[in-house]
Amino acid sequence: MFFLTNALLSGFGDKLAYLDPGSGSFLIQLLIAALLGAGIALRASWSKVKKLFGIKSEVNEDAEDEEPEE
């Protein structure tokens, strides 16, 4: 975390962002999100590898967030 500098900070140009995101919250979000984004990317490639070997993916815990089939 300590290597983070202001150079990493990007801002909010939107006039409607009425909440103060908080500098610290903003920074830590960048860090966590980067980490978790990498995790998702890894997971995606891992499931591709598994598919290659014919292994089924685990049950999607977030099924409730998916759109129901029309």
Partner 1 sequence: MPKTKNLKNSDHTATLGASFRDPSGFLFTDGETLYRQVNRIYATDYDQLMESGLYAKLVKAGLLIPHQEVEQPVRSPREGVGPRRGAQDEAAYKVLRPELVPFISYPYEWSFSQYKDAALATLSIQKRALKLGMSLKDASAYNIQFIHGKPLLIDTLSFEAYQEGQPWVAYKQFCQHFLAPLALMALKDVRLSQLMRVYIDGIPLDLASQMLPGSTRLSFGLLTHIHIHAGAQKRYADAEIKQPKERGGVSKQAMQGLIESLQSTVRKLEWKAGGTEWGNYYEITNYSDTAFEHKKEIIADWVERVKPSLVWDLGANNGEFSRITSQAGIYTVSSDIDPTAVEQNYRRLRQEKEKNILPLVLDLTNPSPALGWANQERDSFGQRGPADIVFALALIHHLAISNNVPLTRVAEFFAGTGEWLVIEFVPKSDSQVQKLLKSRKDIFDQYTKEGFEQAFEMYYHIQAAKPVKESERILYLLQRRK
Binding site for partner 1 (CB under 8 A): 1, 4, 6, 8-19, 21-30, 32-41, 61-62, 64-65, 67
Among 69, 45, 70, residue whose Cα is nearest residue 57 = 45
Of residues 13 and 54, the one with the C-beta less far from partner 1: 13
User: Is the CA virtual torsion 52, 53, 56, 60 positive or negative?
Assistant: negative
Nearer to partner 1, 21 or 55 (CB): 21
Shortest distance, CB of residue 46 to partner 1, whole angstroms? 14
